[in-house]
Chains A and B, each alone.
Chain A
Amino acid sequence: MSALSARIRYALRSARRQRLRTVALVAGVALTTALAASIACIDLGVRDATTTRAGETRLVVYRENRFCPFASALPQRYDRQIEELPGVAAVIPVKIIVSNCRASLDVVTFRGVPVDDLRAMAPRLVEGSIDTWAGHGNGALVGRELATRRGLRVGSSLTAAGIDVVIDGILESDDPQWRNSAVTHLAYLQERAARGGTGGIVTQFDVVVSDPTRLDEVARAIDERFRADESPTATRPQTAFVARAARDVVALAGFSSLIGAGAVLAAFGLLATTMVNITRHRSREFAVLRTLGFTDGGISAIVLAEGALVGALGGLLGAGAAWLGLSRAGLAFTMEGVSISPRLDPTIFMIAASAALAAGLLATAVPAWSASRARLVDLLRGGS
């Protein structure tokens, strides 16, 4: 048996026999890892949704000085005037109705769009059919996260904010707004919003520009076009629009990240302290091992192997639990009709699991060193 395998085998035995201690430590690391990974995913989701990037081509045209979909009302006819502006590739009039205008984790957002415009967007359907939806007046295509959160399937019905729809498909999108919305026919939503009125009013226009470098120029041109009109507009890049609309959520997410980071640090401190105390209580055990011929490096390897075992197990469990929890929960922070979802990037989970392993090793590095350096005679007398 090689010296290394002897040490690893000893570490495994020790971890197995001290079951309660090992389980408690692994659970602590797993919770910390899950927390850290979740915070990182939320943070990434916030950055994705709110950071303007080169190459961005989408603008959102909103009613000037309005901040909630209930208050933003623009004549649908503006779409033709916007289309005529240079640099505009496409215009989609959107009617938005939300079940709750304030910040919430479970808001149902209805987005009414013209059938042809949705077809032109070629949305990715994971279930159902766009043709069925097109021929179904009160049909809806629901985003995957909303469907997960509400347990919706094709054929089931959804009622919220006084709107009744039947689910014709589940759609996937890179855009959290679409992943967290129920897409309906524009006319249906206008009719439901106006309660039998005239319709012809939308909440916003989603504008696609032909050249990303002209994003600001087109935005200015749109606002200039309607400055003296009955409904002046405020046009922003989509990410800037989300950042403004969801500023409270962004601030809240940032604050939560700080608290989470503090909790992670505190948990790591506790883990390190626990490992130090555990190692200190094992001084006589290590003295016996050293007396029998285990070298300084051998003792360090045992302590580090136990730390690595706890870190690796806790890291894998924590990262797995965070992945499972976030993907199953369909979590989305929604405010004023704008949604921000955590981004489940595999890199985050790999980094979180690796960090847990590193933390396990780091937390045991000092005790491992002190266990190997203490005077053998002192250890055998029961000192540390």
Chain B
Amino acid sequence: MSLIECRLLCKDYERGGEAVHVLDHLDLSIERGSYTALMGPSGSGKTTLLNLLAGIDRATSGELLVDGTDLAQLDRNQLAQWRSRHVGYVFQLYNLVPVLSAYENVELPLLLHDLTAAERHRRVVEALESVDLAERHAHQPRQLSGGHEQRVANAPALVTPPTLLRADEPTGDHDRTNADAVMDLFGRLHTERGQTIVMVTHDDSIARRAQRTVRLEKGRLAVQEATR
């Protein structure tokens, strides 16, 4: 059953007075509980597609349904609320709030949910333990190494839990050990929780950890293949 349905999806930007067609009438379905890697050369539209799927950006035309919701019909605030309920984010850049501790960064998405303080605490502790950083809960991002910072950045996606986990270059410029840790976490989320994951990556070896690879070229679907 499809969680995400894209039909004739277009996204145009204006650059130097000219329209750039980043996504060009894209058709794509993503199954609930699937693990998909988006690949393609720079400028192929993979991050743009990921942003549209996660409600961060809006399509210029076409239809995008996520879990039965037509995102184009939601206004800014409705879209924000939808994101808080349905999407977990792992960014290319770590994007942690610098003035908050690791614990508070992980707790952040929960502040918008109607939960007791005890329930929030339970989930945050559990998420930090999942990324093996419970003992660093009081550290601020600048006090963490790059690898630890990325692990903390993964944890907010675990606390809600989201309908869709959106990950943009989650292994980024990490060394192999940290990259493997991130991928192991995603693997566990997928197999143990049935989490739907859509991930952008340039790295074939990372893409092979997903179930399916979708390759884009010039804003169109070039290839989609099962990887395992």
Q: Which residues of A contact B (CB under 8 A)?
A: 1, 3, 6, 9-10, 13-14, 17-18, 284-285, 287-298, 375-377, 380
In the bound complex, how far is the Cα of B79 from the Cα of A292, in angstroms?
11
Q: Is the interface of A mostly helix, strand, loop or mixed?
A: helix
Quick check: A380 and B77 within 8 Å, CB to CB? no
Quick check: A292 and B83 within 8 Å, CB to CB? yes
B226 at the binding interface (Cβ < 8 Å): no
A14 contact set on B, CB distance < 8 A = 99-100
Task: List residues of B (75-129) whose CB comes within 8 Å of A's CBs.
Answer: 76-77, 80-85, 89, 91, 95-100, 104, 108-109, 111-112, 114-115, 117, 120
Report the minimal beta-carbon distance from A3 to chain B, rounded to whole angstroms.
Answer: 7
Query: Chain B: which residue is nearest A299 at the CB level?
Result: B80
Quick check: B99 and A17 within 8 Å, CB to CB? yes
Quick check: A13 and B100 within 8 Å, CB to CB? yes
B222 at the binding interface (Cβ < 8 Å): no
Quick check: A284 and B95 within 8 Å, CB to CB? yes
Query: Which one, A6, A285, A291, A297, contacts B98 given CB within 8 A?
Result: A285
Quick check: B109 and A293 within 8 Å, CB to CB? yes
In the bound complex, how far is the Cα of B95 from the Cα of A140, in angstroms?
72
Query: Chain A: which residue is nearest B96 at the CB level?
Result: A288
Please, what's the 1-or-0 string for B15-33, where 1 marks a CB less than 8 Å from any CB in chain A? Answer: 0000000000000000000
B40 at the binding interface (Cβ < 8 Å): no
In the bound complex, how far is the Cα of B8 from the Cα of A30, in angstroms?
58
Give 7 pairs: A residue, B residue, CB < 8 Å, sorted on A.
Answer: A6-B112, A289-B97, A292-B84, A293-B80, A293-B84, A293-B109, A375-B57
Report the minimal beta-carbon distance from A254 to chain B, rounded to whole angstroms.
Answer: 45
Quick check: A285 and B97 within 8 Å, CB to CB? yes
B45 at the binding interface (Cβ < 8 Å): no
A3 contact set on B, CB distance < 8 A = 112
B170 at the binding interface (Cβ < 8 Å): no
Report the minimal beta-carbon distance from B155 to chain A, rounded to whole angstroms.
Answer: 13
Query: Chain B: which residue is nearest A290 at the CB level?
Result: B80
B219 at the binding interface (Cβ < 8 Å): no
Query: Which one, A1, A17, A291, A376, contacts B115 given CB within 8 A?
Result: A1
Quick check: B89 and A1 within 8 Å, CB to CB? no
Report the minimal beta-carbon distance from A8 to chain B, rounded to whole angstroms.
Answer: 11
Quick check: B99 and A13 within 8 Å, CB to CB? yes
Contacts known (A292-B89, A292-B156, A296-B76); A377 close to B56, Cβ less than 8 A: yes
Quick check: A295 and B56 within 8 Å, CB to CB? no
Quick check: B109 and A292 within 8 Å, CB to CB? yes
B224 at the binding interface (Cβ < 8 Å): no
In the bound complex, how far is the Cα of B142 from the Cα of A18, in angstroms?
13
Query: Chain B: which residue is nearest A292 at the CB level?
Result: B109
Query: Which one, B76, B112, B115, contacts A292 given CB within 8 A?
Result: B112
Quick check: A295 and B99 within 8 Å, CB to CB? no
A9 contact set on B, CB distance < 8 A = 111
Quick check: B56 and A376 within 8 Å, CB to CB? yes
A375 contact set on B, CB distance < 8 A = 57
Query: Chain B: which residue is nearest A3 at the CB level?
Result: B112
B211 at the binding interface (Cβ < 8 Å): no
B112 contact set on A, CB distance < 8 A = 3, 6, 292-294
Query: Chain A: which residue is nearest B117 at the CB level?
Result: A1
Report the minimal beta-carbon distance from B154 to chain A, rounded to whole angstroms.
Answer: 14
- A13-B99, A294-B112 are known; give 16 further A-B pairs, CB within 8 A: A3-B112, A6-B112, A14-B100, A17-B140, A18-B99, A285-B99, A289-B108, A291-B54, A291-B95, A293-B82, A295-B76, A295-B77, A296-B80, A297-B77, A376-B56, A376-B57
